[in-house]
Amino acid sequence: MEPSRYKYKPLGPGQIRLLKLAPGDDADSPLRFDLVTDDLDSYPGPSYEALSYTWGNTAEPCTAFVGTRTAEYFVNITSNLNAALRSLRNRPQAAFLWIDAVCINQDDLQEREAQVELMRRIFSSATRTVVWLGEHDPSTRDAISCIELVKGEAQFIPSMLDPAHGCYVKEPLWTAFAKLLARSWFERVWVYQEIAVSANVDLRCGPFSIVWDDLCA
């Protein structure tokens, strides 16, 4: 039997959905997850991570299956979210995630408005916020090297440009770092509100991980 589109059940006041992502390291295996309801007013509940990302191109959606044992239902997700979930599922156990595109019924205007009102609490209650910058490219490793070098020296940026100070960041590293900061996530106005209330923030670019505090050092 062909899977059918997932039908959302209504949420009560103060409730959110969490995506329970099945683990997996096979790049070709389909994405599978369960959607569970949790109550923010009766926390602590399951520890979860909040995902901050850009939706990206919606013209060519990918398919993810709801149900970790059977594929009875499906939801369509963007290719950027598909890449993020495939990266995040590469762990030994299931991960609980909050992701706006899936955990909110986007066809229900009333629910969307109610969930937006809870957004601050959702991000502040998460154990960490994962920022997905997208897939890596050939310059990503140099960008990470630039961040690590600046962090390790703990000097003011002007001194980094002067070889006399004994720490000179070569221009290709700065160029790679600037390219990283030019990614679309940094152009979103409201992401900084999400970050401001988050307890811990990690940035992911493909397989590379960056601690937010290191980026801001």
What crossing angle do the helices spanning 140-153 and 171-181 adopt, rounded to 10°? 110
DSSP codes of every residue in 93-158: S-EEEE-HHHHS-TT-HHHHHHHHHTHHHHHHHSSEEEEEEES--TTHHHHHHHHHHHHHHT--HH
pLDDT tens by residue, 155-199: 445 544 555 555 556 778 888 989 999 999 998 888 888 999 998
Mean pLDDT of the chain: 87
Per-residue HEC secondary structure of 141-157 comes to: HHHHHHHHHHHHHCCCH
| Whether residue 150 has pLDDT greater than 80 | no
DSSP letter at 50?
E
Count helices and strands (H / E) in the chain: 9, 10
Between residues 82 and 155, the one the model is more confident about: 82
Which SS3 state, helix, strand or coil, does residue 181 take? helix
For residue 172, give every residue at least 6 positions away whose Cβ sits within 8 Å of its Cβ, in sequence order, or none. 142
pLDDT tens by residue, 107-130: 999 999 999 999 999 999 999 999
Sign of CA dihedral 183, 185, 190, 191: negative
**How buried is residue 102: exposed, middle or buried, by Cβ count under 10 Å (0-12/13-18/19+)?**
buried
